Amino acid sequence: MPVLPEKLFLEAVDQLVNIDRDWIPGGDGSLYIRPFMFANETFLGVKPSSDYLFIVIASSVGAYFKSATDAVSVWVSQEYTRAAPGGTGAAKCGGNYAASLLAQAEATRHGCDQVVFLDAAERRWVEELGGMNIFFVFNDGSMLTPPLGTILPGITRSSLMTLTKDKGIALREERYSFDQWRADAGSGRLREAFACGTAAVVTPIGTVRAPDGEFKIGNGGSGTRTDELKKALVDIQRGHAADRHNWIHRVF
């Protein structure tokens, strides 16, 4: 696919936001902007398309999960994987979501809000959720998030990494196994876990369920670090805190 020039991208988003600005909800709501691109060459066969459409759509949205404050439950998929090394896991490509839907349906069947994927090679290492990245908080105050490679390099993940650095919090980008996750939750070494993404913002994970049982993280609710990071990010987004890293783009 061609790389869209940044200027054209911003201009398209600015124009749509300007047209739709009356749809921006008050309070905690947002205007969710979804730019995307797809191939539309008239051709039968397997090859990269020579024509593409770039489209921006938007919708006013509320909280991604039913309760914006409660912790969510996650289902750890043992059977299905989302992305393999050398594949398209790091790209926001539609096929990744197609590959995640059966696992998400399984999560829903088991009463969970979201699915967590393990790595495709060993089915051992925690990667990410169907539509969110994941962070862990330990009892020594340090944090961990899975490394890039087969996961989506989310902008929320990246922003939270910057904010943790600003706050002097030790954060490792390191592999973390599901077995270790369970052991650490049991021993109390793990204090909090949360999911993050543009739509989910920062959402605490309270219950982890798998075919061989479930465990809770902390008291099963949100934690102080999760709340602190969510507030730090949302305050910048809403203009209530200084934008030290120039993340805000104003649309006039």
Ligand X SMILES: Cc1ncc(COP(=O)(O)O)c(C=O)c1O
- Catalytic positions, written as ranges: 92
d(CA 123, CA 136): 19
Does residue 133 interact with ligand X by CB under 6 A? yes
Minimum separation from the CB atom of position 128 to ligand X (A): 5
Taking CB under 6 A as the criterion, the residue among 77, 156, 203, 222 binding ligand X is 156
DSSP 21-85: GGG--STT-EEEEEEEEEE-----SSS--S-EEEEEEEEEE--SSSSSSSPEEEEEESS--S--T
d(CA 237, CA 250): 11
Minimum separation from the CB atom of position 173 to ligand X (A): 15
Minimum separation from the CB atom of position 243 to ligand X (A): 17
Does residue 146 interact with ligand X by CB under 6 A? no
Does residue 131 interact with ligand X by CB under 6 A? yes
Minimum separation from the CB atom of position 185 to ligand X (A): 22
Q: Which stretch binds ligand X (CB under 6 A): 52-60, 149-157, 171-179, 228-236?
A: 149-157
Q: Is-contact 53 37, C-beta < 8 A? A: yes
Name, in order, each residue with C-beta under 8 angstroms of 13's C-beta and a sequence gap of 6 or more. Answer: 33, 35, 56, 251
Q: Is-contact 57 34, C-beta < 8 A? A: yes
Question: Which is nearer to ligand X, 153 or 186 (by Cβ)?
Answer: 153
Taking CB under 6 A as the criterion, the residue among 99, 103, 118, 152 binding ligand X is 152
- Of residues 183 through 202, those in contact with ligand X by CB under 6 A are 197-198
Question: Which is nearer to ligand X, 131 or 204 (by Cβ)?
Answer: 131
Sign of the torsion angle spanned by Cα atoms 173, 174, 180, 182: positive
Q: Which stretch binds ligand X (CB under 6 A): 60-68, 107-115, 150-158, 168-176?
A: 150-158
Among residues 220, 170, 219, 225, the alpha carbon closest in space to that of 196 is found at 225
Write out the H or E segment, with its range, that includes residue 18.
Answer: helix 6-19
Question: Which is nearer to ligand X, 116 or 185 (by Cβ)?
Answer: 116
Instruction: Provide the binding-site residues for ligand X, judged by CB under 6 A.
Output: 128, 131-133, 152, 154-157, 197-198
